[in-house]
Structure 1
Amino acid sequence: MSRLNYHHLYYFWRVAKQGNLTQCAHQLHVSQSALSSQIKQLEQSMGLDLFKREGRKLVLTESGRKAFSYAEEIFRKGDELQSYLLTGEQQEGAALRIGMLATMSRNFIENLMQPLVGRPHVKYSLEAREQSNLLAALGNHQLDLALTNIAVIGDDKQLWQCQLLARQPIAIVGPPGLKLPERFNASYRKQRWVLPVNDSPIRSAFEGICAQHHFTPDVIAEANDMAMLRLLARDSGAISVLPLVVVRDELDSGKLVHYMTLENVFENFYAVTIARQFPNNLVNELLTLAREQP
């Protein structure tokens, strides 16, 4: 398949918008025959008729209408790109591309994105990736912002801009009706546990507390994904150790109860960016609003 000739596409787009070949040729400072020839070459390369004649009028065919809708978007994006490169200012409708660590709390992401939800002319996309893929996409300019709960340190090849956005307390939660105190003691020995996997910072901190109390938890399930931990906490009947934001809805509805908060144990949430000549203004706005949240 031959590559699309955008010069021909531009002429087609202008004629389709104008609806009159003669007038369009005058505006473009080309002869009518040259303009007609350019469009004919586009049709031949596609193997489709884009216009049909009705009397003296040129009318778009079904294929022509589809091609026109694509051309509209292509040249709108071209104008947007030109403005962006010349001034660094984004036009309305510019997109914000966000990558997030696949194991992060969806509730935290939802809270973070709330200022953009429903705002006119704002488009955004969210992609879940693992950490190395997340940073690679950011470094290759496929993402404007990366969200993670793992701190990122720069090296000689890449200087990451890593900002702490929030710290969420880690709590013990479980089904209602358990007679458990607000301080860790022998009452917790009788319980079954759902925990993050062994190599997670939350699990390591919890294991440290257990060691202080000479306590070995009866672990029935482990997960490295906060969405899965949320489901296990809600449905297993066991007690769990996780950030309160993860089970916000279950706590509000009474399906789960917050029994105690682990002292000096937090999950940190980071925003990672890289230096850009033309930064996305929505990134700065979103991060500023996030830091202002209580």
Structure 2
Amino acid sequence: MADLNYHHLHLFRAVAHDGNLTRTAQKLNLSQSAISVQIRKLEDRLGHPLFDRRGRQLHLTEAGRIALDHADAIFAVGDELLGILRDAGRGLQVLRVGALATLSRNFQLGFLRPVLGQPGTEVILRSGSLSELLTLLETLNLDVVLTNQPPQRDATTPFVSHRLAEQPVSLVGTPARLKSTRNLAQRLATLPIILPSTNSSIRIGFDALTAQLGIRPGIVAEVDDMAMMRLLAREDVGLAVLPLIAIKDELQQGILIEADRLPGISETFYAVTLDRRFPNPMLQQLITLPLVVEVDRPDKPALNASGLTADV
């Protein structure tokens, strides 16, 4: 398809994303009729209508959806080319990282530490929901997404999930809350519990554990942010179900202590990338490096884990 007119494709893509011809014409400072003519030429070239026109609204046909997917990929590659050459001209390496908004800051710092502050490098870090970040990854606006929720991979979204680290999960709380001697089952049955939200892997494992023990815990809070769970535990609202890395400072200062290691429950961290022809060389370095997270527990033996700092 050597004679495909990419200007026509560009106009079609703009209208498809806006869903409104008038709005697109205003943005591009073109007349509606001029844009309509260009899109009709593209439809003639492709041999299929791209829009189903219902009154003033434009809806993509099946062929239009296919064309838009390809147009997005084509222009994303163009943006990547410009970015690579622009950064090469400046002698600057840029790593664009997305991180799940609720993810441990310790994990993020540990992953990025090898490149932070390196001469000629810049790290751009964005946070958001997993769906938002994966969209940015697909359009090549991010090089990697850090998450504890790996996405499914299929033929249309070739995500690659790199398993970076796994942290055991414990029941933690203040010394005052844990001053009486109890075993795990007694604590779960009698003390207030702070849990992650129901869609997390930790929560799924916790629910399975309590069901196995025949216990219905008293839940006082359900939170999807590790940092907020840490703060609630510090305020002695209840015992929190957390990986120890999330409370490193509190463990060292004796503000919080580990009551019990929860059997069979862990938090796994991933770096999600796209199957790209020209991956970011800095990213390749980070993914292949071992991730070291160390957690000192004054009251118990140190974990066999890797160098992250306190979660904030």
Where does residue 70 of structure 1 map in the other structure? none
Where does residue 236 of structure 1 map in the other structure? 236
Tell me, in whole angstroms, the C-alpha distance in 2 between the residues paired with 1:124 and 1:93. 11
CA distances 1:241-271 after superposition (whole Å, capped 9, x unpaired): 0111111121112111011111121111111
Tell me, in whole angstroms, the C-alpha distance in 1 between the residues paired with 2:87 and 2:239. 55
Give 1:83-102 correspondences, 5 Å limit: 92-102=91-101
- Shift of residue 79 of structure 1? 10
Q: What letter corresponds to residue 115 of structure 1 in structure 2? A: P
Give the secondary-structure state (helix, strand or coil) at the position aligned to 1:202: helix
> Does the C-alpha gap of structure 1 residues 266 and 180 become closer, same or farther in structure 2, counting only changes over 3 Å?
farther
Tell me, in whole angstroms, the C-alpha distance in 2 between the residues paired with 1:207 and 1:79. 46
- Shift of residue 179 of structure 1? 3.6
C-alpha RMSD over aligned residues: 2.5
Q: Show structure 1 runs of 5+ residues with no match.
A: 1-76, 85-89
Where does residue 130 of structure 1 map in the other structure? 129
CA distances 1:74-115 after superposition (whole Å, capped 9, x unpaired): xxx98961785xxxxx97421100001111111111121221
Q: What letter corresponds to residue 101 of structure 2 in structure 1? A: A
Tell me, in whole angstroms, the C-alpha distance in 2 between the residues paired with 1:79 and 1:264. 44
- Shift of residue 287 of structure 1? 1.3
Tell me, in whole angstroms, the C-alpha distance in 1 between the residues paired with 2:181 and 2:114. 38
CA distances 1:41-70 after superposition (whole Å, capped 9, x unpaired): xxxxxxxxxxxxxxxxxxxxxxxxxxxxxx
Give TM-score, length-normalised by structure 1: 0.66
Give the secondary-structure state (helix, strand or coil) at the position aligned to 1:185: helix
Number of residue pairs the alignment of both structures matches: 213
Give the secondary-structure state (helix, strand or coil) at the position aligned to 2:231: helix
Tell me, in whole angstroms, the C-alpha distance in 2 between the residues paired with 1:182 and 1:125. 47
Contact 1:226 1:246 in 2 (8 A): yes
> Does the C-alpha gap of structure 1 residues 257 and 91 become closer, same or farther in structure 2, counting only changes over 3 Å?
same
Tell me, in whole angstroms, the C-alpha distance in 1 between the residues paired with 2:271 and 2:155. 20
CA distances 1:112-131 after superposition (whole Å, capped 9, x unpaired): 12212222222101111111
Give 1:163-182 correspondences, 5 Å limit: 163-177=162-176, 178-179=178-179
Tell me, in whole angstroms, the C-alpha distance in 1 between the residues paired with 2:137 and 2:84. 22
> Does the C-alpha gap of structure 1 residues 291 and 159 become closer, same or farther in structure 2, counting only changes over 3 Å?
same
Tell me, in whole angstroms, the C-alpha distance in 2 between the residues paired with 1:181 and 1:134. 45
Tell me, in whole angstroms, the C-alpha distance in 2 between the residues paired with 1:91 and 1:258. 49
- Shift of residue 197 of structure 1? 1.5
Q: Show structure 2 runs of 5+ residues with no match.
A: 1-80, 294-305, 307-312
Q: What letter corresponds to residue 139 of structure 2 in structure 1? A: N
Tell me, in whole angstroms, the C-alpha distance in 1 between the residues paired with 2:83 and 2:157. 31
Where does residue 114 of structure 1 map in the other structure? 113
